[in-house]
Chain A
Amino acid sequence: MKFRILVIDDSPTMRGLVTAALEPAGFEIHQAQDGVNGLDRLAAADPHLVITDINMPRLDGFGVIQGIRTGATNASVPILVLTTEAGGDLKDRARRSGATGWIVKPFDEARLISTINLVLGV
């Protein structure tokens, strides 16, 4: 079975990079271009993992995490935050919102995959 990953990022470049890194590793990638779109697609994509950016139009990453955690479906899906930020406050805030992990851009492909495998318990 392929693991499905929902990538939420307003930057097509970043979505492309994540997709390019993960598809060859055997993941099925779904994309959303902002927080609202991410929540909209959640049920349909039914992902095993969500990777979200923080700074996005309409609904930011914290809102996404909160929305997922309090939502009707997939509330318990692991969520990795992928962002350029590395500030302790933000990490703390993301953690308290319900994020599972934090990955800093630019990411190393191998470490991204190993992190995902860890979270997915592969």
Chain B
Amino acid sequence: MPQRDDLRAAFFEECEDLLAQMGDGLALMSDAADTPELETLHSVFRAVHSIKGGAGAFGLNGLVDFAHAFETVLDLMRSGRLSIGSTGMPTLLRAYDVLSDLVAAARDGVTEPSSMAAILVELDILADGGGADEEDIEFVPVPLDLSLPFASPVEPEPAPLGYMIAFAPSAALYLAGHEPAALLRALVRLGSARVIPDTDEVSPLAAFDPGSTALRWQLELSTCASRDEVDAILDTVSHLADVMIAPLVTHAAGMEEEASTQSRPSLPDQVPSEPGPIASLAMSNSDPVPVMEARVKGMDAAPASPIRGQPEATPVQMPVASTIRVNLDRVDRLINQIGELVIMEAMLSQAITNAQIEDGGDIANGLEGIKNLAASIQESVMSIRAQPLKPVFQRMQRITREAADATGKSVRLQTIGEGNEVDKTVIERLVDPLTHMIRNSVDHGIETAERRRSVGKPAEGLITLSAAHRSGRVIIDITDDGAGIDRARVRQIAEERGLVAPGAHLAPSDIDNLLFMPGFSSKEEVSALSGRGVGLDVVRREIQALGGRVTIQSVPGQGTTFTIALPLTLAVLEGMLIDVGGETMVLPLSSIVETMRPASVQVQYLGRAARMVASRGALIPIIDLAESFGFDPVGPLEQAILIIVEYDADRCVALAVNQIHDQRQVVIKSLEDNYGDVPGISAATILGDGRIALIIDPEEIVQSAAAESLALPHVANG
């Protein structure tokens, strides 16, 4: 049996999902605030509602109260009694933020956010706007308690349209071989009916006969048939059952739901097929037509499956993903073991080659099969760690709102491609850099509303956060439609802070890249918003630590785009195997621009030792990789191969290596666990022969080279 603590933990996990579901729904609603999709509203409502339900179970009263106020507004909206339009949307979004905070506060046992009271008032004001027709409220908040069973219903008194038949069979009826269902069907044939258990009184429940598995029945029979016709059917069993027949009265509120339910096409066999009485009831129903249409539409969007057990006919519009939660350690262990399998396969392959066995191809085929299988298992296991970017993107909605509030700007965040999947760790470590970049875009990118209007832009700024998969990487763009980078100002700041020599020749892209320099932003200069102790240099470091790169493009007056390129996983990497001073090493393929033989290109010398090579209109410094690792130098460039790598936005260096072997996917193994940092090396991998190869970090190579020489020429190729 699950313990209560486990259930509590499960509840908070569920809350995460529900909040995500809400975030989606609210985003859709923001796009069409005047006419929100009913199913979207239902979905958001249900999420709040489920949070409320669970919170109540765990005695989280603050959360219950807030969810209730929130839910009240949503319920008014979904029942068509409240249209909040675009003006009310910010309140819902803020309420969503507060709800997220409350969930987190309840989970972590910290105090509730102070913003709660203010938002509660806003929600109440919104709710008042929809509460005009008091009588119609079907959702009455009352204190939670346990009440059972129903109180006696109070029936109104309009004209009879049929009969209410109470039918309580005795055990003797069954012994006599009667089948209540047959009798009920006979009654139903008189018109149309709904069959429900008789629960009008408390006492029948208490007096429930354990010896009988049957319920007492109550029939709401809509029929033109006479009382005699009804009696005729029931007379046969009148001595075996308690039977009570009374004229049927309508319920104005209830019938409308009936009608809409009846019109649901995918719920077949709703009792009899005669549409007559029901249809006429629907027509006489006094509810406003739009409400009915809305309900019917809502039903269409959420079809029910056929009741009578024909699973193949089930219309599956929203397939329910069945998932299990697995400890990440287990997945990682599996990843390691698969890596081992791949290596063992390679070793076995080598051993068989060495043994020179003649087998007519059987062994080779078997090995090939194992190899393919291992590769596909590896891919499958990797995909377990992959998760959609959606939660992170969703979080950015809130960051945008908060940043916009803090700066007094009006900004909307549009997200694209949030379904793209990336390794879980990458996603987790992406939150901070993205947060910072979004804040930066709101703070420095988007102009004030007045300014925007004066240059003919819409007052509301737009930030687009988009993700796409491109050649084994995920590319994330953060684009604002703001003023673009003020290069004169950036240059001035950089000169003031001694980051560049005054008057140095800088291409526009070089100036833009100054934003990433450590020491560019200082606390007193940055506004209260962005000035949380990090600059874009930290963002770049964080992205690089993930094996990614960040670049910047800006067009004055039109906006700025930051582009982040990330590996899909931190567990494997596409690499080029190279020979450096006799050691086999791996260079990440993502950093490689091109490879060339120096014999075919002109090597330029600068001073005594510095060498450069011209490539694509730029002069690129050459680093002897073996020398930089402290091995015997590669030596004369004529015998070397140059690999041009991009180590930073638009900055390249040519690494001289002895030889290039081949390209392959390698499993990344940490060096830090059992050893520590190695300069110029990011990690290690295990080759087919079981030996270890080190994975090169091009940026560190450049940095250490620069530190040694202090003379690395500044190269501009923009």
Seen from chain A, the residues whose Cβ lies within 8 Å of a Cβ on chain B are 10-14, 16-17, 19-20, 23-24, 33-37, 39-40, 43, 53, 55-59, 62-63, 66-67, 69-73, 75-76, 78, 80, 83-93, 95-108, 111-112, 115, 118-119, 121-122
- Separation in Å of the B220 CB from the closest CB of chain A? 7
**A89 and B253 within 8 A (CB):** yes
Chain A residues whose CB sits within 8 angstroms of the CB of B318 once the complex forms: 57-58
The distance in angstroms between the C-alpha atoms of A51 and B351, with both chains bound, is 63
The distance in angstroms between the C-alpha atoms of A50 and B46, with both chains bound, is 21
Known A-B contacts A12-B14, A86-B144; A119 and B208 likewise in contact (beta carbons under 8 Å):
yes
Question: Can you show 11 pairs from A to B with CB atoms below 8 A apart?
Answer: A69-B195, A76-B213, A84-B53, A84-B56, A95-B199, A99-B199, A100-B199, A104-B146, A105-B144, A106-B56, A121-B210
The distance in angstroms between the C-alpha atoms of A54 and B157, with both chains bound, is 28
Chain A residues whose CB sits within 8 angstroms of the CB of B148 once the complex forms: 80, 101-103, 115
Residue of B nearest to A67 (CB): B307
**B53 and A11 within 8 A (CB):** yes
**B302 and A57 within 8 A (CB):** yes
**A36 and B149 within 8 A (CB):** no
Interface residue B617 (Cβ < 8 Å from any Cβ of A): no
**B142 and A70 within 8 A (CB):** no
**B49 and A40 within 8 A (CB):** no
Per the 8 Å Cβ criterion, residues 206-230 of B in contact with A are 206, 208-210, 213-215, 217, 220
The distance in angstroms between the C-alpha atoms of A100 and B200, with both chains bound, is 10
A interface footprint on B289-326 (CB within 8 Å = 1, 0 otherwise): 00000000000001111011101001000101000000
Extra A-B contacts (5), CB below 8 Å, given A80-B148, A87-B137: A35-B304, A36-B314, A37-B320, A87-B138, A115-B148
The distance in angstroms between the C-alpha atoms of A46 and B314, with both chains bound, is 20
Seen from chain B, the residues whose Cβ lies within 8 Å of a Cβ on chain A are 1-2, 4, 7, 10-11, 14, 42-43, 45-46, 49-50, 52-54, 56-59, 137-140, 142-151, 153, 180-181, 194-197, 199, 205-206, 208-210, 213-215, 217, 220, 251, 253-254, 257, 261, 267, 269-271, 302-305, 307-309, 311, 314, 318, 320
**Among A20, A59, A93, A99, residue most surrounded by chain B Cβ atoms (within 10 Å):** A59
The distance in angstroms between the C-alpha atoms of A91 and B196, with both chains bound, is 14
Chain B residues whose CB sits within 8 angstroms of the CB of A89 once the complex forms: 138, 140, 253
**B307 and A122 within 8 A (CB):** no
Chain A residues whose CB sits within 8 angstroms of the CB of B57 once the complex forms: 13-14, 17, 105-107
Residue of A nearest to B188 (CB): A70
The distance in angstroms between the C-alpha atoms of A122 and B205, with both chains bound, is 11
The distance in angstroms between the C-alpha atoms of A3 and B682, with both chains bound, is 61
> Within the complex, which residue of A58, A97, A106 is in contact with B144, where a contact is CB–CB below 8 Å?
A106
**B220 and A96 within 8 A (CB):** yes
Known A-B contacts A12-B14, A55-B45, A106-B57; A71 and B144 likewise in contact (beta carbons under 8 Å):
no
**B10 and A12 within 8 A (CB):** yes
Known A-B contacts A56-B46, A89-B140, A95-B153; A76 and B53 likewise in contact (beta carbons under 8 Å):
no
